[in-house]
Structure 1
C-alpha cells in the first residue's frame, strides 16, 4: 500500500508514546506508523495491544542509540515525520546513574538527528518532546518559551542538552525541528514510578502513600489525551524552529493529591485520611513547582479539554480495573514492586 505519510515514533511503547502511537494509528489509517522502542522496564507491550494487528502499524524493537539500526530505518522507510520521545525520565534514577541518562537522552537524540538529516528521503518535521523541567524551579515566575534554561537535576540537564542539539540542526541546516515542553502528564498505563500511579499502586497494596520531605511541593498535571492533541496540532500548524510549552492551570499540591487519592481508593472519612499518609526523606534535590505559559500553543487553537476531576476519575478507574498491568516480571523488567519501593514523587 502507498501510505500518505510515514511517521516514526521513538519510545512509542512508553506511557506517552503508546498513547501517541495508538492515536496516530487509529486516526490516520492512511499513514504508516513505525514504533522504535527497546522495551525498557517502564514499557509494556500490552499498551499497544489495541493496534498491534493493524496494517498501518509496525513495531521495531531496538535501541535509539544504535546508529546502524536507526540509519537503516531512515534509509529504507522514507520517514516523513519523527516524534522523538525515547528518553529516560525518572529524576531520582538520574542522580544514581547519570551516564545512562546522558547516553539515551543526548546520544540517542544525536543519532536520530544525524540519521534524519542524512536520509535520502528528507523528513518534513522532527518534533522533539522535552519537559518543563528544563526551566528549573520557580516560586513566582511563570516561564514562557524565551525564559532561560536552568535544569537542576541530571535528567533535566540531559533534556536541555538534547534540546541544544536539536536547535543546532535548525540553526546550521534549517532542518525542520519543533520542540515541545510539557507539564507533568498523567493518565492510564503510566508506570508506577510516577507520582499518581505510585500512590494508586501503594494504596491497592494496602500501603501508605509516601510523601517525600516536608516542603510544599506541587505539580501541574496535564491529561495524556490533551498532550497528544497538542503534539498533533504542532505537527500540522506549528512553525519550524519554534518551541511550544504545553501547559495547564491545574496545579495540585502533592499532599492534596495524596489525600484525594486516599479518599477515592479507600473511601475513608476525612478523619482517617492521614492514617494512609507517611512522610519519608526527600531526594537529593527537589524543585517545588514548574509554572509555564503556553500562549503560543493556544494561539494555534489548543486548549486542555480534560477537567482534573474527570481525568483523575478515569485514571483511578483504569488502575482499579487493571491491577496487574504492571505486576508481571520478566528478564526485561525487574520485579515491579522493587522498582516501586525505589520510586519517587516524580
Structure 2
C-alpha cells in the first residue's frame, strides 16, 4: 500500500514509518520539521494545521494514512487550549477532508489516540467501554478527533481505527525520545548527565502502564490491515503491567549502573493508577507487547539516547 504517516519525524511516528517500510509498503512522511526520517521514507513538508498544505500532499493518492501529528503535553494544553484544539482537532479534520476528497476506493486510516480520553476512571483496568471523561484540553481534543474520524467512517469513505495509547517509551537504534516532560526520557537524561536531577511528585507510588515504542508501531501495522470500509474501531494499546515512578527510577539506575539524584515534590493532582485492558486488540488483531518489560524499555531508551539526535517538537 501507499501510506502517508503524519508526524513521521516524531518519536512514535518515526517508529511507525520504519515498521511500515519493513512490511513492504511505500511510505511517505508528512512533517513540518526537517527532522530525520527512516530510510526509504519519502518526505513531504507540511503542517497539518495548514489545509492547503494537506490538500497538496494528497495530490498523490494514498491508500492509507497513519495520523500521528499532534500536540501531546497535558500541562501545555491547559496553558494553550486553543492551540491544542487547532492542532489535534483541526489537523485531523484537514486529513479527513483530504481523504474524503481524493476519491477512489475507501482509504484506511489509523489514528494515534490516547488513554487521556478516559479522564480518571475508577476501574483498575481500563477497557474501551469506559466512559470518556477527559479532564484537560489535550484529552478533550483527542476525543473530539476520534469522534470526527468515526463520523467520516460511518459514511463509508474510509475504514478507521483509533489506537488509545498508554505511556509509550523506549527507543529504536538511533532514535530515542528527547521529550523530557515524559518520565522515562527524563530519567535517561539524568542518567546520561544532561539533566541535574529527576523530580518526582509525592512518594513516587503513582502507577502507569509503560509500552515500548516498537510494540506501539506493531499495533499500527496490524490496525492498518484491519481497517474495514464504513467501520470505526477503537483499541487500547498497553501491556497492563503496574510500574510505579520509583520502579522507573530503579530500572534507570540498574541500566546506568549508578544512583540517580531524585528530588521529591508535593503530590500532584493526577490519577493514582492508569492501566490498560488491551484484551480487545490482543483477541481481534493478535497484537502482543513483546518488548514492554520495563527494564527493556528503559535500556532501549538509554541506548537510543546515546546514538540519536534531538527530537523535534512533539507535533512532529
**2:168 pairs with 1:185:** yes
Q: CA deviation at 1:32?
A: 2.1
Q: Which has the larger radius of gyration?
A: 1
Partner of 1:158: 141
TM-superposition CA deviations, 1:32-90 (whole Å, max 9, x none): 21111112xxxx724x2x51xx3xx211121102111211222x211100101110001
Does the 8 Å CA contact 2:159/2:227 hold for their aligned counterparts? Answer: no
**Matched residue, 1:6:** 2
Residues 251-330 of structure 1: matches in 2 within 5 Å?
251-268=242-259, 276-281=261-266, 285-299=269-283, 300-306=285-291, 307-319=293-305, 321-322=306-307, 325-326=309-310
- For residues 289-346 of structure 1, the C-alpha deviation after alignment (integer angstroms, 9 at most, x for no partner) is 2222122211121111113333322222222x23x7329xxxx87xxxxx9xxxxxxx
Look up the SS of the partner of 2:216 in the other structure: helix
Aligned with 2:129 (options 142, 146, 153): 146
- Over aligned residues, Cα RMSD in angstroms? 2.3
Structure 2, unpaired ranges of 5+: none
The 3 A distance-change label for structure 1 pair 280 and 122 is: farther
**1:267 Cα offset (Å):** 2.1
SS in 2 for 1:70: helix
| Cα shift at 1:210 | 0.7
CA distance in 1, matches of 2:49, 2:273: 32
Give the equivalent residue in structure 2 for 1:342.
none
- Report the alpha carbon displacement of residue 250 of structure 1 after superposing the two structures with TM: 2.1
Q: Give the structure 2 partner of residue 196 of structure 1.
A: 184
Q: Deviations 1:221-251 (Å, cap 9, x if unpaired)?
A: 0111111111111111355321111121222
Matches of 1:281 and 1:117, distance apart in 2: 49
Trace 1:1-346 onto structure 2 (pairs within 5 A): 5-28=1-24, 31-39=25-33, 45-46=35-36, 48=37, 50-51=38-39, 54=40, 57-74=41-58, 76-173=59-156, 175-188=158-171, 189-191=176-178, 192-205=180-193, 207-214=196-203, 216-239=205-228, 240-268=231-259, 276-281=261-266, 285-299=269-283, 300-306=285-291, 307-319=293-305, 321-322=306-307, 325-326=309-310
Native 8 Å contact 1:138 1:291 kept in 2: no
> What is the CA-CA distance between 1:179 and the residue it aligns to?
1.2
Deviation at 1:260, TM superposition (A): 2.8
Provide closer, same or farther for how the CA distance between residues 238 and 118 of structure 1 changes in structure 2, counting only shifts above 3 A. Answer: closer
| TM-score normalised to structure 1 length | 0.81
Q: Is the 8 A contact 1:133 1:290 kept in 2?
A: no
* Post-superposition offset of 1:266: 4.7
Distance in 1 of aligned mates of 2:271 and 2:78: 14
Contact 2:12 2:213 in 1 (8 A): yes
Secondary structure, aligned partner of 1:250: coil
1: CA distance, partners of 2:266 / 2:85: 26
| Structure 1 residue 263 displacement after superposition | 4.0
Q: Distance in 2 between matches of 1:295 and 1:303?
A: 10
Q: Which has the higher contact order (CA 8 A, sep 6+)?
A: 2
Structure 1: tracts of 5 or more residues without a match = 334-338, 340-346
Residues 123 and 77 of structure 1: is their aligned pair in 2 closer, same or farther, counting only changes over 3 Å? farther
